[in-house]
């Protein structure tokens, strides 16, 4: 049986020279790879108590939905600005070349609710930190962050050091 890492396609020099892009679409496109990714991620948090799963747009939806379903928990969406139809709160965060903004429905998290954030990848931690702030602004408690891939060299774990982070795969570089 293949290891989870073997399903991830590594593309050198994308999007720029010297970067190795870790492509999760190759995991999604293989039924065994997808199953292994979901099972591995879910197993990492089997000891964690949480009331809801928050999926980050867009690949966080893909990994968060089956985990929420399997754990019989609701799935809450965090989306890019302007994509949610009801009243929202938003948070701007820095990107490598500019800024971005994400939002969540104002009524999506109840005060005291324990939340598991699920995403495909953590790099610098900017998106993850913004999600944490949104959840906490609504009175929720971040029980943990779960990702398929951690790029250790970009130090996202350090940026969210006060929170539990579980990664199915960790790469030492960028």
Point out the residues that are catalytic.
59, 96
Please report the pLDDT score of residue 18 as a whole number: 84
The distance in angstroms from the start CA to the end CA of the chain is 27
Backbone angles phi, psi at 2, to 5 degrees: -75, 150
The DSSP code sequence of 42-73 is HHHTTT---SEEEEETTHHHHHHHHHHHHHT-
Output the CA–CA distances (angstroms, integers) from residue 48 to 36, 42, 52, 123, 164, in the order listed: 20, 10, 12, 23, 10
- The C-alpha atoms of residue 112 and residue 158 are separated, in whole angstroms, by 25
User: Residues of the chain whose pLDDT is less than 70?
Assistant: 96-97
Please report the pLDDT score of residue 63 as a whole number: 98
DSSP bridge partners of 55: 77, 118
Quote the DSSP letter at residue 76: E
């Amino acid at each position: 049986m293949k290891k989870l890492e073997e399903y991830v396609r590594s593309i050198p020099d994308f999007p720029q020279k010297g970067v190795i892009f870790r492509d999760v679409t190759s995991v999604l496109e293989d039924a065994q790879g997808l199953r292994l990714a979901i099972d591995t991620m879910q197993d990492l948090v089997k000891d964690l108590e949480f009331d809801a799963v928050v999926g980050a747009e867009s690949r966080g939806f893909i990994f968060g939905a089956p985990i929420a379903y399997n754990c019989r928990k609701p799935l809450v969406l965090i989306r890019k600005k302007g994509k949610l139809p009801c009243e929202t709160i938003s948070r701007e965060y820095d990107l490598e070349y500019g800024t971005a903004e994400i939002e969540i429905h104002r009524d999506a998290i109840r005060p005291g609710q324990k939340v598991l954030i699920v995403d495909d990848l953590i790099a610098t931690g900017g998106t993850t930190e913004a999600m944490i702030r949104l959840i906490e602004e609504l009175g929720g408690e971040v029980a943990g962050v779960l990702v398929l891939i951690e790029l250790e060299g970009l130090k996202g774990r350090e940026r969210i050091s006060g929170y539990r982070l579980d990664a199915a795969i960790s790469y030492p570089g960028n």
